[in-house]
Structure 1
Amino acid sequence: MQQNNNKNNKNPSISLHNTHVKLLAFDLLTLTPPSSPDQPFTRKSIPITRLEALGTITLRDQKPSKFLCFAVDDGTGCIPCILWLNHLTSPHMARRRSPQDLCLLADADARSAEVVKVGAVARVRGRVMAFKGSVQITVTDVVGERDPNVEILHWVDCVKSARNCYNLITFSSSS
C-alpha cells in the first residue's frame, strides 16, 4: 500500500491502486460497479483494481487455446475468474508485447491452468474487472495450496485488513 501524506489533511489517505487487496467473496461481490468501463470497482469509495483470493475451485470450463473460466469458493461466496490462454494468437496482445514476452506469458498461464482443478485449494491473484455487469477476476497467477490452515489464515488476514485498513481509509482524489 502506498501512503500519501497531505499536510492539510489530518487523515492521510492510503492508495490501494495496483495492490492485491485481500477480500472475501462477499466483499468482492458487493463492490460498487464502475460508472464507465475505464473506471475501477470501488469499496466505500476506494478504488479496487487488483485482488488476492483463496478458496476451493468449484467450477472449471476451458476453451482450449482461448480461456479458462473457473470459480473460487472461499466459504462466503463464489468468485468468478477467467484465465486467458490466447496470448500467442491474440492480435491485441501481439501489438502490446514482444514475442519473447508472449511466450513467457503463455507458458506461465499454461502452468496456472494445470493448477485449476475442481476440488483443489488455490490462491488466485488478478485484476478486478466487469463482465456483463458483474465482477470477475482476470487472473494473472494461480498457486495451489497444500497447507490445511491456509484458508483460515486467509480469512483472518481479510478480516484484519478490512477492520484495520480498508474500512478506515479516506480516499482523496487529489493523489
Structure 2
Amino acid sequence: MDPILSVHVKLLAVDLLSLTVQSYGPLTFTHKNWPIARAESLGVVVSRERKDKFLKFLVDDGTGCIPCILWLNHHSFAQRSHPIDLELKARMALDYAEKIQLGLLVRVRGRITSFMGVIQVTVADVVFERDPNMELLHWLDCIRMSRRYP
C-alpha cells in the first residue's frame, strides 16, 4: 500500500476536481499518476445545504469550488460498532454543521469520494481559520508539493 494513501494531500480545487478515477479494483483516484485517497483544502464557504442526515457545502479556494459532504447520522450506527467513538463523531459533526456558515474561511480534510460522477470530499474534520494569510500559505504549499511530486 502506498503511504501517500494514508495522508491528507494538500490540493487546490482545480487539481482535486481533475483527479483521474481508476476503473480497476476499489474506487481510487490519481493525480499525476500518484494515488490519492484523502485531501486537504482551504477556502471560503460559498454554499451550504443542511438535511437531516448530512450537510452539503461548497468551498471556494479561488481555482474552483470543492463539493464537501459532512455526514450527521452517526447516531444511527452507534448500536453496531464502538458507541463511544461514534457518539464523539456525531457530536463533532453536529458542532461543525452549526459553525459552518457562508463566508467563513475553512480548512477541510477528508476522504475523496465520488457521487453520481462528481468528485467530492467526505469531511472528517474542519478547522476555522482566522488568519486570511492561511489561504496564500495553502496555495504555496500546494505549488511546492506539485513541483516536488511531478
Q: Shorter-chain TM-score: what band?
A: over 0.9
Deviation of 1:110 after TM superposition, in Å, equals 1.3
Q: CA deviation digits over 1:142-168, x for unaligned, max 9?
A: 11110021100110111111111x31x
Choose between structure 1 and 2: higher strand proportion.
Answer: 2
Q: CA deviation digits over 1:92-113, x for unaligned, max 9?
A: x643x31111111101111221
Q: CA deviation digits over 1:18-67, x for unaligned, max 9?
A: 11000000001110013157231111221110000000001100003x00
Match of 2:133 in 1: 149
Distance in 1 (alpha carbons) for counterparts of 2:65 and 2:135:
14
Does residue 89 of structure 1 match 2:76?
Answer: yes
Deviation of 1:135 after TM superposition, in Å, equals 0.6
> Which protein is bigger by CA-based radius of gyration?
1
Match of 2:63 in 1: 76
Change beyond 3 A, Cα 1:162–1:62 = same
Structure 2 unaligned segments of length 5 or more: list them: none
Match of 2:48 in 1: 60
Choose between structure 1 and 2: higher helix proportion.
Answer: 2
Match of 1:10 in 2: none
Distance in 1 (alpha carbons) for counterparts of 2:98 and 2:24:
34
Match of 1:98 in 2: 82
Match of 1:171 in 2: none
Describe the SS at the equivalent of 1:76.
coil
Distance in 1 (alpha carbons) for counterparts of 2:35 and 2:124:
19
Match of 1:8 in 2: none
TM-score of the aligned structures, taking structure 2 as reference length:
0.93
1:93-172 equivalence runs, <5 A:
94-95=79-80, 97-164=81-148, 166-167=149-150
Give the aligned CA root-mean-square deviation in angstroms. 1.7
Describe the SS at the equivalent of 1:72.
strand
Letter in 2 for 1:24: L
Describe the SS at the equivalent of 2:101.
coil
Structure 1 unaligned segments of length 5 or more: list them: 3-13, 168-175
Displacement over 3 Å in runs of 4+: none
The worse-fitting range, judged by mean Cα deviation, of 121-130 and 33-42 is 33-42
Describe the SS at the equivalent of 2:5.
coil
Distance in 2 (alpha carbons) for counterparts of 1:37 and 1:112:
33
Is the Cα contact below 8 Å between 1:130 and 1:136 reproduced in 2?
Answer: yes
